[in-house]
C-alpha cells in the first residue's frame, strides 16, 4: 500500500478510530481528576478493612472497572466506579453517598430526617437518638421505636430506611463492631473464663455470632442436669392452632421459666407458653453456664 494512503487513513476524520485509540481515550477519561474526585472522597468514608475485604472478592474485567458484588445492593454486576468504589449504578452511588453524609449529620439534620419519616409526634420519646447522625444510625432499632410508641408496621418501614443509610455508610445493614461494640461469647469465654470456644457463625454484616464450647461440663454432671430437668419440671405439650389438628400437639415439649414476679408469655409460630417461676436448680445451671461464657450479667 502506498505511503500516502497510509497517512490519509490515520488522519482522515471520516474513518472510524482504531480500537487502541478508543481505549486510550477511555483511560484518559478515567484519570480525569474532576470526574474522580467525588469518588475518592466517598471512598475515604469507607473503613480500610472493608476495602481490603471487597478487593479480595473481585477481579479485573478491563481497564475501566471490574466485576463483583455491588457494595450497596449486593448484586453481581460490572461496577462502573473502579476497584475502590464498588457500586453498580448511579443510584447505588447516590444512596451510598447519602449514607456517608448521614454519619456527619448535626442534631438538627437528624431531627429533620425524623420529621421526614413522619415520626415528629414521637420526637420527645426519641430525643436520645438525635444527638447526631452517627448516634441515630448506630443505636436506633425497631425495639426502640416500638417502646417510643411507634406502631409496628411503621417501625419496620422506618428501619428499612435506616438500613439503607447503614448500607451506604458501612456496606452492611447493621453497625459494625468498631462503631457499636458488641461482646461475643467466643471472645469473652476465652479471655474471661479461659474456656476454648469454637466459632460456628461469624457474620459481622448482620452482627450475628455463635460459638461452641465442647466438654465444658463433665459428662456425669451433664447427665445429672438432664435427668433433673426432665423429671422435676412441668413440661407442657402446646398445640399450634395453625398447623396441628384438633387434639394434636406439637412434636416437642416446652417450658418457659422466668424469674419470680415476671408474667411474660413466650410466643412463637402460633404457640403460647405460659411462664413458670424458675426453680433454684435451674438458676444454678444458668449461673454455671453464664460463668463458662465469661458473661457478668445473667
Residue partners of 274: CB distance under 8 A and separation at least 6:
236, 256, 265
Helix (H) or strand (E) holding 97: helix 90-102
Question: Could you tell me the domains of the chain?
Answer: 99-170 (1.10.150)
Residue partners of 185: CB distance under 8 A and separation at least 6:
197, 209, 211, 293, 294, 295
Distance CA 223, CA 217 (A): 10
> Tens of pLDDT along the chain (298 residues)?
443 333 333 333 333 333 333 333 333 333 333 333 333 333 333 333 343 333 333 334 444 555 677 777 777 666 655 545 677 778 888 888 899 999 999 999 999 999 999 999 999 999 999 999 999 999 999 999 999 999 999 999 999 999 999 998 998 899 999 999 999 988 988 888 788 899 999 999 999 999 999 988 999 999 999 999 999 999 988 877 666 666 677 778 899 999 988 999 998 877 888 999 999 999 999 999 998 888 887 7
Distance CA 196, CA 190 (A): 6
Distance CA 204, CA 154 (A): 27
The pTM of this model reads 0.65
Amino acid at each position: 500500500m502506498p505511503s500516502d494512503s497510509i497517512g490519509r487513513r490515520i488522519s482522515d476524520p471520516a474513518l472510524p478510530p482504531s480500537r487502541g485509540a478508543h481505549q486510550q481515550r477511555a483511560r484518559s477519561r478515567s484519570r480525569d481528576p474532576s470526574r474522580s474526585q467525588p469518588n475518592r472522597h466517598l471512598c475515604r468514608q469507607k473503613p480500610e478493612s472493608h476495602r481490603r475485604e471487597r478487593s479480595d472478592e473481585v477481579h479485573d474485567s478491563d481497564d475501566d472497572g471490574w466485576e463483583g458484588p455491588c457494595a450497596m445492593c449486593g448484586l453481581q454486576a460490572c461496577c462502573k466506579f473502579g476497584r475502590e468504589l464498588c457500586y453498580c449504578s448511579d443510584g447505588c452511588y447516590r444512596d451510598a453517598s447519602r449514607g456517608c453524609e448521614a454519619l456527619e449529620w448535626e442534631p438538627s439534620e437528624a431531627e429533620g430526617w425524623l420529621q421526614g419519616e413522619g415520626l415528629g409526634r414521637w420526637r420527645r420519646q426519641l430525643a436520645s437518638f438525635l444527638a447526631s447522625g452517627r448516634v441515630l444510625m448506630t443505636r436506633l432499632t425497631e425495639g426502640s421505636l416500638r417502646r417510643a410508641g411507634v406502631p409496628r408496621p411503621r417501625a419496620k418501614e422506618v428501619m428499612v430506611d435506616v438500613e439503607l443509610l447503614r448500607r451506604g455508610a458501612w456496606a452492611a445493614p447493621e453497625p459494625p463492631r468498631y462503631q457499636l461494640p458488641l461482646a461475643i461469647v467466643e471472645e469473652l469465654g476465652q479471655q474471661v473464663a479461659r474456656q476454648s470456644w469454637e466459632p460456628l457463625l461469624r457474620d459481622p454484616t448482620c452482627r450475628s455470632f455463635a460459638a461452641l464450647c465442647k466438654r465444658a461440663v463433665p459428662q456425669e454432671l451433664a447427665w445429672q442436669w438432664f435427668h433433673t430437668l426432665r423429671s422435676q419440671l412441668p413440661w407442657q405439650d402446646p398445640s399450634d392452632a395453625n398447623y396441628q389438628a384438633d387434639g394434636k400437639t406439637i412434636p416437642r415439649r416446652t417450658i418457659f421459666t422466668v424469674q419470680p414476679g415476671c408474667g411474660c408469655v413466650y410466643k412463637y409460630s402460633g404457640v403460647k407458653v405460659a411462664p413458670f417461676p424458675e426453680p433454684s436448680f435451674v438458676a444454678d445451671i444458668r449461673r454455671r453456664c453464664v460463668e463458662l461464657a465469661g458473661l457478668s450479667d445473667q
